[in-house]
Amino acid sequence: MVNQKALPEPSSGWRDTLGRLTASIGTKIILPYLLLTLVVAGIGAYVVTSLVTGSMRERFNNQLLDAGRVVSEGVVRHELDRLEVLRAVAGTQGVPEGLAVGDREMLASLVPQIAANSDIDAVELLDMRGIEIYGWQRPLGQSRTDGVERSGADFSRLEDVRLVLRAEDVDTLGEKRALLGQTPYGMMVFAVGPVLQGEQQVGAVMVGTYVREMVIDLTESAVAKVTFYDLSGGVVDTTLGGGQEGVTDVLKESPEQYEAVVALLEESPDRYQAVVSESEDQVPLREVDVLGQQYVLAFGVWQLRNQSFGLFSVALPTNFIVSAAVTSRSMLNIIFSIATVAVIGIGFVVAQRIIRPLNRLVETSVAVAAGDLAQRTGIRSKDEIGSLASSFDVMTERLSERNRQLIEQASKLEAILNSIADGVIVLDVEGEIITSNPAAQQVLADMSSDFRSAPLRELPPPVYGGIDDVPEMEQLPAPTVIQKPQRYRVGGRVLSALAAPVKTPDGEELGTVVVLRDVTREVESDRLKDEFITNISHELRTPLTAIKGYSDLLMMSRGSLLDDRRLEFVRTVGDNANQLLHHINELIDISQIQAKNLGLERSRLRFSQLVGEVVEKWREPMESKGLALRVRLSGGGLWVEGDWDRLTWAVENLMSNAYHYTLSGGRVEVRVFQEDNQARVDVADTGVGVAAADQPYLFTRFFRAHNELTFSVRGVGLGLFIARSIVELHGGQVWADSELGVGSTFSVALPLLPEG
């Protein structure tokens, strides 16, 4: 039967109402229109605002570019002024002569007049050692006639001064150099050049101007705030912020910024003096907040005589750009609001035309899901919804027919399952019972009353004995695959359990089916058979012993009582009696093995010696049959613990098997060696081999492989079974590898004992 689950009842309250509203088709139709309007309005606002602000940004960037050019040209102009004064000082008559002899008074009478007639703030005259012979500096903010004179300072520590004095490493623009230095009255930029007397250099002259006054002059020329940075990004001087405390920390740039600007400007050498205006593509612009005012900074390289001293920036306020953008957004908000209301209204009308047939389709599908397969939509429109409704009605009709067929099929399967005499139980992947037939329910009734609510336990180990040896089955086998039936006792009955997985055609495992069969009669029959074999074996051995004894007596008195012909008869009787006694002893030993009371006299023995003695007993019979026997014994001790007689019997059975099933002209090879921590013997032959179908039964009781070539070989099929039982009682393993028509290899492995 088909199980149908009832649909949950709809919840009530505002949450359910809100959920239905957000999940409705109307909302899903209107919402895209609304989102589309938002997207279009947003794109329009962005485009218009971008056009307005872009135009203003372009003008703003042009102004920045012009200001940067003015600053760059002003830096060059100040450098030219310093060089002009430097040449004037070095070329004034009396200056080289006074510097050559160190005449400070002569220099003091000449230099201040030159400085007072120029824009220079400091002049330093140095001898060839870099020692200041005469220096003049105007304090910052004082008139040019109020200069301070000094001498004796050591400028030789300055690299640029040393290079000029040595006339080494001069730049491409001449023998002069530029440097930035801190003086008692402020930071200054110096131009350094040699002083020559005739063709001989007698010293050097340094001409400097204050950075502060240069920054103020450049700010007035560029109509923009100007800032100079050193190579580490620190602020040298600035007119941004009115000199208030903390402004330099805001303006400080990283060394990486300096490297980025230099690298980008070097791509186009003719632009090294210009401030770059397109920040995203070339040199980054930076926005800063200084005293509540937003500024945009554009950068350029501060360069003198092809030598970089850092960066400079020009800054302009951005208030007018922000104001224009705000005005544009306000206008677009009004347009956006009107468009949104219009879209919602149009979307509502369109949604209603679509929702009505969809609601009918939803109602019908809910009824069908609840089990009412007689419901139909009744929609006959020719649009996509009509096609969907028509397909849904056809699907419902087919579903109704399929449901009827499934019910009929389930009824047939249930009738078949109930009629099976064996117990059938179907388990899910968790081991819980899904269904069972009456025979299985009877088995379950014999188990514990709370079994149905508990998962199934693991299977007990398989058994081979009689009904008394079958373990109790407290619960059903676990939901795993049982390749061979296993037996369990439930009350006074014995059940055989066989499990197999239940899988879909795609290989997905759904559970397990367990078949329980009552094999009480079979087990009892096996028990009676084993008892009969044991009893009859004991009964047969008594008269057989007497027959063997009297035949041996006749053989001993053969000369006086028997002629040769009768002696041969007696020998035949004795041989057959010995063979029959051997079979009877095997049957008795099997009963002892089954009863698990086969006595073992364990001792420490040398396995290679045991195998060697057994092989030597078989050498003469094999050579008589025309078989080649080869033996390879391990040189080590290979000590094992076991019963010498029983292990000898096991190895003899393997040799007997190789002897009987190898045809004349064949070969038998015995190998004894150590493998891992085991002593192993392989008995390999080139005999008839064993078919693949017979190999799983080689070591079972009373089994003999059928082969026309060895049909005359006599036996009851117990030798290999006894060999396996003895080896396993010693904790070892026995196995066989065989190929029909090629030969077989029987192997035994026993645990090794330590040497000594």
Average pLDDT of the chain to the nearest whole number: 75
| Residue 293: pLDDT band with limits 50, 70, 90 | confident
638-697 residue pLDDT tens:
889 998 888 988 898 898 888 888 888 999 999 999 888 899 999 999 988 888 888 787
Q: Give the architecture-level CATH label for domain 600-751.
A: 2-Layer Sandwich (3.30)
244-257 residue pLDDT tens:
555 566 666 666 66
Q: What does the alpha-carbon distance between residue 189 and residue 207 come to, in Å, rounded to a whole number?
A: 8
Predicted pLDDT at 451: 40
Which of 198, 188, 215, 220 lies closest to 82, judged by CA? Answer: 188
pLDDT higher than 90, residue 749:
yes
Please report the sign of the dihedral spanned by the C-alpha atoms of residue 552, residue 558, residue 564, residue 565.
Answer: negative
Higher pLDDT, 48 or 266: 48
Higher pLDDT, 208 or 516: 208
pLDDT higher than 60, residue 568:
yes
pLDDT higher than 70, residue 157:
yes
Q: What does the alpha-carbon distance between residue 560 and residue 567 come to, in Å, rounded to a whole number?
A: 11
pLDDT higher than 80, residue 612:
yes
Which of 739, 617, 726 lies closest to 670, judged by CA? Answer: 617
Ranges of beta strands (E only) in 549-676 are 603-606, 628-632, 639-642, 667-675
Predicted pLDDT at 338: 78
pLDDT higher than 80, residue 323:
no
| Statement: 224-317 belongs to CATH 3.30.450.20 | yes
Predicted pLDDT at 446: 65
| Statement: 92-213 belongs to CATH 3.30.450.20 | yes
CB-based contact 67:314 (threshold 8 Å): yes
Three-state helix/strand/coil letters over 45-69: HHHHHHHHHHHHHHHHHHHHHHHHH
Least confident of 57-71, 212-226, 583-597: 583-597
Predicted pLDDT at 269: 42
- How much is the average pLDDT of 432-436? 82
Predicted pLDDT at 267: 47
Residue 709 phi, psi dihedral angles, 5° rounding: -70, -25
184-204 residue pLDDT tens:
888 899 999 999 988 899 999
Predicted pLDDT at 131: 93
331-352 residue pLDDT tens:
766 776 777 677 677 766 777 7
CB-based contact 471:493 (threshold 8 Å): no
pLDDT higher than 80, residue 7:
no
Residues contacting 283, CB < 8 A, separation 6+: 260, 261, 264, 265, 275, 276, 298, 299
pLDDT higher than 50, residue 437:
yes
Residue 751 CB neighbours (<10 A): 14
The segment with the largest mean pLDDT, out of 24-33, 549-558, 612-621, is 612-621
- How much is the average pLDDT of 529-534? 60
| Residue 461: pLDDT band with limits 50, 70, 90 | very low
What are residue 749's DSSP bridge partners? 680, 733
Residues contacting 7, CB < 8 A, separation 6+: 366, 369, 370
Predicted pLDDT at 277: 38
CB-based contact 86:191 (threshold 8 Å): yes
Which of 638, 626, 706, 612 lies closest to 663, judged by CA? Answer: 626
- How much is the average pLDDT of 204-217? 91
Q: What does the alpha-carbon distance between residue 612 and residue 373 come to, in Å, rounded to a whole number?
A: 84
pLDDT higher than 80, residue 320:
no
CB-based contact 482:498 (threshold 8 Å): yes
- In the chain, count of helices (H) and strands (E)? 17, 23
What are residue 628's DSSP bridge partners? 667
pLDDT higher than 70, residue 9:
no
> Which amino acid is located at 597 in the chain?
N
Predicted pLDDT at 467: 40
pLDDT higher than 50, residue 2:
no
> Which amino acid is located at 279 in the chain?
S
396: which 2 tokens? 């419902």
What are residue 733's DSSP bridge partners? 749
Three-state helix/strand/coil letters over 505-524: CCCCEEEEEEEEEECHHHHH
| Statement: 420-516 belongs to CATH 3.30.450 | yes
The segment with the largest mean pLDDT, out of 21-30, 190-199, 339-348, 712-721, is 190-199
pLDDT higher than 50, residue 701:
yes
Predicted pLDDT at 144: 73
Q: What does the alpha-carbon distance between residue 645 and residue 154 come to, in Å, rounded to a whole number?
A: 114
Higher pLDDT, 139 or 296: 139
